[in-house]
Copies of this chain bind each other. A is one copy, B any other.
Amino acid sequence: MSETFIGTDIGGTNIKLGLFDSELKLVCKTSVPVEADIMPEAMVDLIGETIEKMLADNNLSKEELRSIGVGSTGQFNLDDGFMISNPNLTSFQNVPFGKILVERLGKPVVLENDGNAACWGEYALGAGRGVEDMVFFTLGTGIGGGIINQGKLVHGSNDSGAELGHIIIYPDGRLCGCGQRGCVEAYASAKSTAKRATDAIEGGAESSLKKAIEEKGKITAKDVYEHLKAGDALAKEITDGTAKALAMVCINMLHITEPKRIVFAGGMIAAGEVLLKRIKEYFDEQIWRLKKETVEICFATLGEDAGIVGAAALARDVKEED
Contacts and interface: CB of A to CB of B under 8 A. Distances in A.
B157 A252 contact: no
B156 A287 contact: no
A291 to B, nearest CB: 7
Interface string A158-186: 10111110111111000010111100000
Contacts of A93: none
B179 A288 contact: yes
Nearest to A84: B291
B256 A253 contact: yes
A77 interface: no
Contacts of A178: 288-290
Interface stretch (A35-43, A206-214, A215-223, A257-265): A257-265
A34 interface: no
A288 to B, nearest CB: 4
Interface SS majority for chain A: loop
27 contacts: A75-B291, A85-B291, A150-B155, A154-B257, A156-B257, A156-B258, A157-B259, A157-B260, A157-B295, A160-B258, A160-B291, A161-B255, A162-B256, A166-B288, A167-B255, A168-B251, A170-B171, A171-B244, A171-B248, A179-B288, A179-B289, A180-B251, A180-B286, A180-B288, A252-B252, A256-B256, A256-B257
Q: Which 8 pairs across A and B sit closest by C-beta, in order of nearness?
A: A156-B258, A179-B289, A161-B258, A178-B288, A157-B260, A133-B157, A163-B255, A166-B255
Contacts of A158: 258, 260, 294
Contacts of A169: 168, 171
Given A160-B258, A258-B157, A258-B158, A252 B286 contact: no
Contact of A257 (B166, B257, B288): B257
Interface in A115-135: 131-133
Contacts of A279: none
A184 to B, nearest CB: 10
Contacts of A160: 258, 291
Contacts of A294: 158
A16 to B, nearest CB: 24
A88 interface: no
B255 A290 contact: no
Given A171-B170, A252-B167, A161 B257 contact: yes
A255 B164 contact: yes
A149 interface: yes
A147 interface: yes
A154 B132 CA distance: 12
Contact of A147 (B155, B251, B256, B291): B256
A248 B286 contact: no
